[in-house]
Amino acid sequence: MSGPLGPVGRDGWGRPGTAGTGEARGAAGATVGSLPRLRLSLRLNNDLPPSQFLEIATAAEEAGFDQLWVSHDLLLRSAPVLLAAAARETSRIKLGAGVLNPYSAHPVELAMHAATLQELSGGRALLGIGAGAAGLLGAAGVPRPEPLARTRAALASCRAMLGAAPSAAGPRPGPASTEAAASGRAPAAEARLAIPLPVPVPVYLGAMGPRMLELAGELADGALALLYPPEHYPLARSQVLLGAERAGRSPGELDLPACVWVSVDEDRAAAEAALADKLAFFGQELSPYLLARAGMRPEDFAPAKGALEGGDRSRARSLVTPAMLRLGIAGTPEEVASRCAGLVLGGAAHLSFGPPLGPDPLRAVGTLSRQVVPLLEEAVAAWRAQPAGSSPGEMR
């Protein structure tokens, strides 16, 4: 990896004596997985003005990030349009819509967006598909029936249309259900894009629950496994790999980024306030499964959401508890690097930093690349220098 990230991507995060194999050793001295070159990506919300989005996109490329994703929440800005603009302003970084849903647009249209971006960007397109948040879709008047079946059908269809080998794409889907067929939302089994695709477009599945994560392992090129809290990564990864194993796929076929919400600033309080805003707005849409594992429920975020919608941002922030803040990573560069080091030592070979990133998202891109990543690198190196019986955990 080039840019201010320096040695990231060159040393394989190898412990002394592993000669770049990136082999990590667990508490009992056993090999717990290979840690290849660490990849880094950014995820942004589609509420950003286009000029600000493009400024961050170019900064991310200059900083050496591998991927840039933007959400496609309804009633905000169009992710495909933002990415088309970013394709003209960048030359290396990969660009992904994360995620498009198969309800507000037909899967054929999703494939069209990705194929056109692939042409426009010179082969840098990524497509993220997901069922979407029921509350956000509902606010736009879009129903969300049969999320697993509809997402499975869209995923298989889009992968086939975007160049995946037939065996990798899975069987061509027929109608996802009687309801989907009647509404015209089911992908057509014979659909083929009339667009040249010399290089297939990788298709990722955005997921939080076990069944969606297993589906990602079965059919997708990667999983955007949203982690609330970040320490959920090992279980999420195991659920993806279970789906891959059942489908006879190799883990090496899949990109499994650890997708976390990050807010970084030299001022810890400012970083926490930015993350509190995000949690107040979106907390009710988080997976009940993940929240239950953290001892919470979606309705726990209702008071903060109500205060935010009533215009009282200060009260909304005060209603976001320290435990809620732990669903993401907020703090100084040292504190953010500390928790991220645990992810890498737990097997993550790709870290995906999601919004809010910080009180100033553009400044946060530089902070992540120039401060957090080197600190993370030092923390990982320090652990690798310890005896094999040491436990990774959260670096202190």
User: Is residue 143 domain-shared with residue 261, that is, in the same domain?
Assistant: no
- pLDDT tens per residue across span 138-185: 888 999 899 999 999 999 999 999 997 654 555 544 444 444 444 445
Which of 22-31, 97-106, 152-161 shows the lowest mean pLDDT across its residues?
A: 22-31
Q: What is residue 368's predicted lDDT score, i.e. its pLDDT?
A: 97
In a domain, 240, yes or no: no
User: Is residue 190 domain-shared with residue 280, that is, in the same domain?
Assistant: no
Residue 92 binned pLDDT confidence (cut-offs 50, 70, 90): very high
Element (H, E) at 355: strand 350-357
27 pLDDT more than 70: no
User: Is residue 271 domain-shared with residue 156, that is, in the same domain?
Assistant: no
Mean pLDDT of 66-88: 97
Single-letter amino acid code for the residue at 94: K
Domain endpoint, select from 207, 239, 265: 207
Q: What is residue 391's predicted lDDT score, i.e. its pLDDT?
A: 57
- pLDDT tens per residue across span 291-333: 999 999 999 999 999 999 999 999 999 999 999 999 999 999 9
CATH code, 94:
3.20.20.30
Q: What is residue 388's predicted lDDT score, i.e. its pLDDT?
A: 64
Domain endpoint, select from 207, 222, 241: 207
In a domain, 213, yes or no: no
Q: What is residue 381's predicted lDDT score, i.e. its pLDDT?
A: 85
Separation of alpha carbons 396 and 376, rounded Å:
11
- pLDDT tens per residue across span 361-377: 999 999 999 999 999 98
In a domain, 227, yes or no: no
Residue 77 binned pLDDT confidence (cut-offs 50, 70, 90): very high
Cis before 356 (ω within 30)? yes
User: Is residue 190 domain-shared with residue 315, that is, in the same domain?
Assistant: no
Residue 337 backbone dihedrals phi, psi, to 5 degrees: -60, -35
Residue 3 DSSP label:
G
Reading the block at residue 222, the tokens are 């990667």
31 pLDDT more than 90: no
Closest CA to 127 of 144, 141, 110: 110
Separation of alpha carbons 115 and 107, rounded Å:
12
% pLDDT > 90, the chain = 72
- Segments forming the whole domain that contains residue 313: 1-37+255-396
In a domain, 231, yes or no: no
Q: What is the mean pLDDT of the chain?
A: 85
In a domain, 303, yes or no: yes
Residue 394 binned pLDDT confidence (cut-offs 50, 70, 90): very low
User: Is residue 304 domain-shared with residue 175, that is, in the same domain?
Assistant: no
- pLDDT tens per residue across span 236-264: 999 999 999 999 999 999 999 999 999 99
User: Is residue 388 domain-shared with residue 284, that is, in the same domain?
Assistant: yes
In a domain, 195, yes or no: yes
User: Is residue 260 domain-shared with residue 144, that is, in the same domain?
Assistant: no
290 pLDDT more than 80: yes
Helices (H) and strands (E) in the chain, counts: 17, 11
User: Is residue 293 domain-shared with residue 172, that is, in the same domain?
Assistant: no
Q: What is residue 17's predicted lDDT score, i.e. its pLDDT?
A: 28
Q: What is residue 19's predicted lDDT score, i.e. its pLDDT?
A: 28
User: Is residue 172 domain-shared with residue 95, that is, in the same domain?
Assistant: yes
Residue 269 binned pLDDT confidence (cut-offs 50, 70, 90): very high
Element (H, E) at 94: strand 94-100
User: Is residue 167 domain-shared with residue 262, that is, in the same domain?
Assistant: no
Those residues with Cβ within 8 angstroms of residue 238's Cβ, 6 or more apart along the chain or in another chain:
none
Closest CA to 285 of 72, 145, 138: 138
- pLDDT tens per residue across span 338-365: 999 999 998 999 999 999 999 999 999 9
> pTM of whole model > 0.95?
no
Domain endpoint, select from 189, 207, 225: 207
In a domain, 234, yes or no: no
Domain count, the chain: 2
In a domain, 214, yes or no: no
Are 94 and 125 contacting, i.e. CB atoms less than 8 angstroms apart? yes
